[in-house]
Amino acid sequence: MASQLNRFLCGCGASQYGQLLCSEVRTEPVIINREEFFFKDNDIIMVQAGRWSTAVLLKGDKVFLYGNIINIEGLCDKNLLINPESGGTEFFNISKIAIGDEHLILLGNNGQILAFGNVANSYREHIMGKIVNVFAKFDKSAFVMENNRVLITNYAKGNITIEFSSQVKDVALTASSFGVLSQDALYIFDDEGQMMFEIENIVSVAASENIFIILKNNSAVFELLESGKTRQIHGIDGVAIKVFAGSNHYGVITLDGECWMWGCGLFGQLGSGKKEYASIPEKTKIKVGYRVIDVHAGECHSIFLITKDNTFSHKIPEEMKTSDYIKVVNTTFLVSGSLIASQYDYKF
């Protein structure tokens, strides 16, 4: 994304711990009043969601964390502004935030890690190379090293390191398994490190408590259970380019900057204006004139990074450019909108 974009933060769902910086349930995404909470729209770099919390990376190497992360001193039911520089360390240059149920990880551009909570020191002796990415969800963390090794730390079960033959692009963590998306394929493992599935032609992956959400290079979206059962998701009116998931709700971002969500919506976390479960995706009611840059989701809330800049547009992921579907979209149907992947049945 362009650094000059003016970004806005909005959210929907439950906010009983202040994860939406309010105390009310929001059934539609509402722009959050930022200046009252120490930052302005053009300060926002990225956003991340934990189960009951939200973190915002700001210019100046600051992280504004709000909501509830258990076992991190001073964070329960309180807001916290983390500034590694003012804490006595050198300028950290934060590039990634990861939040689990009881831990927070900050990754610096130089591979340095600041970790808080349960994971604080458990990973260090297992690191074999510079850390280039981090992920967290539930009681797990994943550290991706530059040598294509991935360290999975599970607070209850210990640590697993797996080496891959190509670059690791993403990691998705369920409560009892994990998926690693490399340049070659998506590999899904159980918590003992035994591989259960190998799936090719994957663009994006996300995970809830027990379901993987998978975007294939033909823009088709699937749910994959740990049992191996799959369900194609129909009803997305657009070209899906990224998937995301909370604990029990799921969504996609489309090429034109819209968001579609399904799953548990009892607290309004689907942003559709209702409080109910949805088995078919419903369009999130983003304010007119705004486009979605990114979305992250927790237990009962969803947090959006949006822009009103009409120069912003998503790029087609590289993995999709070579698919027959995208070739047809580019040459024929993108203007008319008459070819939508979710309207057709595809083999998984």
- pLDDT < 50 regions, the chain: 1-3, 74-80, 83-91, 335-338
Q: Is residue 263 within 8 Å of 235, Cβ to Cβ?
A: no
* CA-wise closest residue to 44 among 247, 316, 303: 303
Task: Read off the pTM.
Answer: 0.89
Confidence at residue 11, expressed as pLDDT on a 0 to 100 scale: 95
List 232's β-bridge partners, or say none.
222
DSSP state of 329: I
| CA distances in angstroms from 241 to 246, 247, 314, listed in the order given | 18, 21, 8
What is the per-residue DSSP string for 220-272?
-EEEEETTS-EEEPP---S-EEEEEE-SSEEEEEETTS-EEEEE--TTSTT-S
Q: Mention every residue, 6+ apart, whose C-beta is less than 8 A from residue 200.
A: 184, 185, 186
Confidence at residue 77, expressed as pLDDT on a 0 to 100 scale: 36
State the pairing for strand pair 113-117/131-137: unpaired
H or E element in which residue 51 lies: none
Confidence at residue 89, expressed as pLDDT on a 0 to 100 scale: 36
Confidence at residue 209, expressed as pLDDT on a 0 to 100 scale: 95
Q: Is residue 287 within 8 Å of 31, Cβ to Cβ?
A: yes
